[in-house]
Amino acid sequence: MKIQTIVKIISAVFGLLGVIFLFRIIGAGDEEIKMAASMGDFGTVSPLVSLSIAILIITVLVTLFFSLINLASSKEKLKKSVIFIGCFLVVLGIAYAASTGVETPLKDGEVLSASGSRWVGTGLRMFYILAALAILSMVLSGAKKLLNR
């Protein structure tokens, strides 16, 4: 049996399960789900969430597996990947060093720890740095194309 056939069958099973769980949710109705959730019963929605998590995990694992196989096929690709991962880690280090953490009360009465606050700041700073680098890259690429004409 070909791998493509197996993937189609698995996809069809996941799709069918998703449709069944969706119809269960639609059949229950919004009000009933809200009432059950207020009492701590998430039985109607939980199967769909679990299915989504399973599909996400399988997708990530398969993607990583085939990406690593592709990288292992060429030393040049592997070298470039390691360089880019190193650059990403440098940006992470810069963003983490530039971030500070302060205990922050949340709306639900919980408290976000100083460490958690620092990681949130790190994520925001990484986004800004990477967005700035992407914009700079596009501007430089456009300028290079204009100058080469």
| Residues 82 and 67 grouped into a single domain | no
| Residues 59 and 82 grouped into a single domain | no
Q: Which of 43, 73, 103 is the last residue of a domain?
A: 73
Q: Which domain does 126 fall in, by range?
A: 75-149
The pLDDT score that the predictor gives to residue 7 is: 87
Q: What is the pLDDT along the chain (149 residues), one digit of tens a residue?
A: 788 899 899 999 999 999 999 888 888 888 888 888 888 878 888 888 899 999 999 999 999 998 888 888 888 988 999 999 999 999 999 999 999 988 988 888 889 999 999 999 999 999 999 999 999 999 999 999 999 87
Number of C-beta neighbours around residue 44 at 10 A: 17
Number of domains observed in the structure of the chain: 2
The pLDDT score that the predictor gives to residue 133 is: 95
| Residues 143 and 87 grouped into a single domain | yes
| Residues 34 and 83 grouped into a single domain | no
The pLDDT score that the predictor gives to residue 146 is: 92
| Residues 102 and 40 grouped into a single domain | no
Alpha helices in the chain (DSSP H): 3-28, 30-38, 46-72, 75-98, 114-147
| Residues 33 and 92 grouped into a single domain | no
| Residues 125 and 109 grouped into a single domain | yes
| Residues 81 and 57 grouped into a single domain | no
Q: How far apart are CA 98 and CA 129, in angstroms?
A: 11
| Residues 115 and 139 grouped into a single domain | yes
The helix-helix angle for 46-72 and 75-98 (nearest 10°) equals 130
The pLDDT score that the predictor gives to residue 34 is: 84
The pLDDT score that the predictor gives to residue 132 is: 97
